[in-house]
Structure 1
Amino acid sequence: MTGLRERKKVDTRRALSDAALELAFERGLENVTRDEIAARADVSLRTFNNYFANKYEAIAYRQAERLRRGIEILRRTPPEVPLWTAISEAVLQPLEDDFRAARGIENSVPSRAQLAETRKLLMRTEIRDALARRLFDEWVEAIAERTATDVAADLYPRLVAATVRAVGDAAMEAYVVADPPVAITTLIREGFAAVAAGLPEPTARTGGKDHD
């Protein structure tokens, strides 16, 4: 019974998050209210308030959930798997699983208008703040466990966790301006591959002047 109850709670959170995203795409997040999100998800405003403090938390929920699942995957990955390979798969697997399971907006090819709205959403400090800092700290702890480093004494696990976040940010920024569109999973994988290789300087440059 407890499992079913928890499953229903997760489904409700996801439905509210999807409704918030759909409405933000349709009219811009600034024009969306909690009442409208609740109505789109076919629940009451009271139910919305039981799950989220505001619309920003609702928008951020899917990403926060993926980050939590990624931490679990990283902790289950065998220790012989190289660090950046393990991290790349831990980040990508929840995203790919959601894409395969999605029935609606997350499984569709984004329009240019949706990409423009995504860019605005990513720039909102409220959205970024809604991804609780404790998730970053949990990533640091998981990385410290895997690398046998000390969270309090060693800089390394925090540098790695910060790099994971930077790869996600860079991939999303590239995703929302890509023309033609490129899969976000492709960009994330490319980002981690570059980090694993030590971020070598590109051998060919585009958009700049050649120098003798």
Structure 2
Amino acid sequence: MTSDVGLRERKKRATRAALSHAAWSLMVERGIDAVTAESVAATVDVSPRTFRNYFASREEAVLDGIVQRASGLVDALRARPAGEPVWDSLAHVLPGAIMKVLGERETDIAALVRVSAENPEMLARQLTAFARVERLLAEVIAERTGADLDRDLAPHLLAAVPGATMRAVLTFWADGATDASLPDLVRRSIAQLREGLPLGRAAPET
């Protein structure tokens, strides 16, 4: 009985992953308007009803694979040495994570940034989906630092760093303002945040 339940669960996860991958590919190749229950289902060779059983919207389907990979940030942070400062852990984990989470092809990442800028539903879905990942990161940070998650603000602030950094880096990169790679931009961002942003300080008197 246990093996049957395990097999069914693995099949469900595989179907969900296949649907999300198909939705992502359609968005990249043909735009978000091409992502429908019918088109995604046809790609995976299932019924549109099956698609709707797994996802409430096309935006959820497109982002599901990213959200699943983003959850790996929690495990990566937890795996860092126990005595390591959180800023060091973030600097170690985040630069490589941005490509793992979003995908290796920069053209695909650019497509996501473009669609998110043009589609309020996609942006709203991103914020909602990553809120849970942020909460899990806050729990790990609280464990590592001995902070009280319910009383201390610091774990929540640090947990917001990955999401805010990635959003800022992606927008800056997609606008063509730099030739630097995404991992390098993340490294620079973490270093600046850790030291205190110069623009956040009072201007020197002249």
TM-score tier by shorter-chain length is 0.7 to 0.9
Post-superposition offset of 1:63: 2.2
2:107 maps to a residue whose letter is P
1:134 maps to a residue whose letter is R
Structure 1 residue ranges without an equivalent (≥5): 100-105, 202-211
- Give TM-score, length-normalised by structure 2: 0.76
Higher helix share: 2
Structure 2 residue ranges without an equivalent (≥5): 200-205
* Cα-to-partner distance string for 1:4-51 (whole Å, 9 max, x where unaligned): 554444433332222212212233213421111121233322332232
Q: Find out whether 1:35 has 2:35 as its counterpart.
A: no
Which aligned runs of 4 or more in structure 1 are off by greater than 3 angstroms? 1-11, 88-99, 106-109, 122-125, 179-183
Q: Find out whether 1:178 has 2:173 as its counterpart.
A: no
- Equivalent in 70, 83, 104 of residue 86 of structure 2: 83
Q: Secondary structure at the match of 1:110?
A: helix
Count of residue pairs brought into register by the alignment: 195
User: After alignment, is 59-68 or 115-124 more displaced?
Assistant: 115-124
RMSD of equivalent CA atoms: 3.1
Partners of 1:4 and 1:185 lie apart in 2 by 37
Match in the other structure for 1:118: 113
* Cα-to-partner distance string for 1:129-174 (whole Å, 9 max, x where unaligned): 3315322222221221122111221111111122222101111112
Partners of 1:92 and 1:55 lie apart in 2 by 28
Match in the other structure for 1:207: none
Post-superposition offset of 1:115: 2.6
Cα gap change, 1:68 to 1:200, in 2 (>3 Å): same
Q: Find out whether 1:127 has 2:116 as its counterpart.
A: no
Q: Find out whether 1:153 has 2:162 as its counterpart.
A: no
Partners of 1:187 and 1:11 lie apart in 2 by 33
Identity of aligned residues (%): 34
Contact 1:144 1:151 in 2 (8 A): yes
Partners of 2:187 and 2:78 lie apart in 1 by 19
2:83 maps to a residue whose letter is E
Contact 2:41 2:47 in 1 (8 A): yes
Contact 1:38 1:44 in 2 (8 A): yes
Cα gap change, 1:182 to 1:110, in 2 (>3 Å): farther
- Give TM-score, length-normalised by structure 1: 0.75
